[in-house]
Amino acid sequence: MNLAKIMIPKVSTVFLRENQTVRQGWEVMHRHGYTAIPVVDGEGRYVGTVSEGDFLNFVMAAGTTDTQHMEHHRVTELVRKDFCPSLQIDADREQVIAFILEQNFVPIVDSRGALCGILTRRGVIQYLAEELAVRS
């Protein structure tokens, strides 16, 4: 399975940088209507994902929705490294299917761990359906 052909490339992927403020992260998520977004470090390596729930937990713990408070905290404080694990760009079909069954999107990384893009469940299903149609 050629993941480069079916993934959404990094240049077309919405992601956050770990040094962005919590306010900036929330605004990006809200603007795009996503429920989870990948996060990269200063070198572009995938470090984890933040979800709506992570932002909600932050607000609940802080006891305020004040944007000034959100300006004093970074996305890196919210990142969950165990949520939405990544796959290498050369992952095989079985790995891709196993991951996409459990996650709405799968971050794809290179050998250095740099984010290359994401696979979506819809994209994988579409690819497999087209492959099946060609065989029929």
Q: How confident is the model at residue 9 (pLDDT cuts 50, 70, 90)?
A: very high
Q: Which homologous superfamily is 3-135 in?
A: CBS-domain (3.10.580.10)
Count Cα neighbours of 111 within 13 Å in the Cβ-side half-sphere: 0
Tell me: pLDDT of 25 over 90.
yes
pTM of structure: 0.90
pLDDT for 136? 77
Q: What is the mean pLDDT of residues 69-82?
A: 94
Q: What are the CA-CA distances from residue 34 to residues 1, 37, 51, 95, 109 (Å)?
A: 27, 7, 8, 24, 20
Domain ranges of the chain: 3-135
